Amino acid sequence: MVLYLIGLGLYDERDITLRGLDAVRGCARIYLEAYTSILLCDKLRLEALYGKPVVVADREMVENDADLILEGADQIDVAFLVVGDPFGATTHTDLQLRARERGIPVRVIHNASVMNAVGACGLQLYKFGESVSIVFFTDTWRPDSFYDKIAANRKLGLHTLCLLDIKVKEPNLEALCRGKTIYEPPRYMSIKTALEQLLEIEEKRREGAYDAGTLAVGMARVGAPDQRVVAGGMRELMEVDFGAPLHCLIIAGNVHVVEEEILGYYRIGQAGAAAGAEGAAAAAGGGGASTAEALAVGGGEGSS
């Protein structure tokens, strides 16, 4: 039959398109990819809307056991749900290739992605260069491959979207060494952590790709009612509490006068910068669990 790759949008169960919803309701099995990004609602709300159970697909299933997802898809319709747009991560391209190799037709239903929704801050999308990923540093691993890409973008006057790391259902390495599988609690990189790491690498390399005063834009919970956007120098943004995840960061290149006018509304101290702050505090203090939190339930010894 068909493997559907369906984008869910950015916020909650209602962001799916009508065409996507029709496809999901017609599928015999439904998988929710929950490690490249998360919805800001839990799985139960998806199941209530679809009228069907949803299987959460973690990194291990998608990357190592893709055959489980494709099993029987030549005879039944299977849906693979992706937060944002289906092709926001290379993993989903790989799933499509595997399906086609097995003669399974693939249909894609697109949706909004952070890659285009960041235009809400006022920076024009056609002036963005290559996006980069900022991963959590460890004591022994502090990668800086993003630095050269940011430098190249800024040399051309282009903005850089920094996608910030999330860790969902990550195994504890010490426990693995003892032959046990224990999963760490979910972690979501904040704008402050990303800026600290970026400035650490600039201090190390000293090539002038950016500095503490470079204009940047922090965005939290893009697409949600309590979305927050704040523009300012990199050091200034480290003092802003952006609230609950997910966060992303833009390092500005050359700013056009029209972009600057819109950014002015989101500058620290302006009305736009404060918008969403109260909702962010409420989200941080309670509310429905995200799909990642639902995935983490029972994440103790031996869980999978």
46 labelled as ligand-binding?
A: no
Q: Which two tokens stand for residue 45?
A: 């709300």
49 labelled as ligand-binding?
A: no
Q: Which amino acid is at 1?
A: M
The pairing of strands 160-164 and 78-82 is unpaired
65 labelled as ligand-binding?
A: no
Preceding amide of 249 cis, omega within 30: no
Q: Is the dihedral of CA 106, 107, 112, 116 positive or negative?
A: positive
Q: Domains of the chain: which residue ranges?
A: 3-112, 115-271
CATH number for region 115-271: 3.30.950.10
More confident of the two residues 171 and 4: 4
Average pLDDT score over residue span 206-210 = 97
- Per-residue pLDDT of 211-220, as tens digits, reads 999 999 999 9
Q: Which two tokens stand for residue 252?
A: 């500005």
70 labelled as ligand-binding?
A: no
114 labelled as ligand-binding?
A: yes
Task: Give the chain's mean pLDDT.
Answer: 89
**273 with 191: CB under 8 angstroms?**
no
The CATH fold assigned to 3-112 is: Cobalt-precorrin-4 Transmethylase; domain 1 (3.40.1010)
Q: Which two tokens stand for residue 120?
A: 């809400």
Q: What is the predicted pLDDT for the residue at 278? A: 52
Give the contacts of 179 (CB within 8 A, at least 6 positions apart).
none
Q: If you average pLDDT over each of 19-23, 273-277, 287-291, which comes out highest?
A: 19-23
88 labelled as ligand-binding?
A: yes
The pairing of strands 78-82 and 3-7 is parallel
Residue 156 CA to residue 140 CA, distance in Å, equals: 33
Q: What is the predicted pLDDT for the residue at 290? A: 53
Q: What is the predicted pLDDT for the residue at 281? A: 52
Residue 56 CA to residue 73 CA, distance in Å, equals: 18
pLDDT over 70 percentage in the chain: 90
83 labelled as ligand-binding?
A: no
Q: Cα dist. 63→16, 33, 77, 80, 176 in Å?
A: 24, 11, 21, 13, 19
The answer on pLDDT for 77 being more than 50 is yes
Beta bridge partners, 28, equal: none
222 labelled as ligand-binding?
A: yes
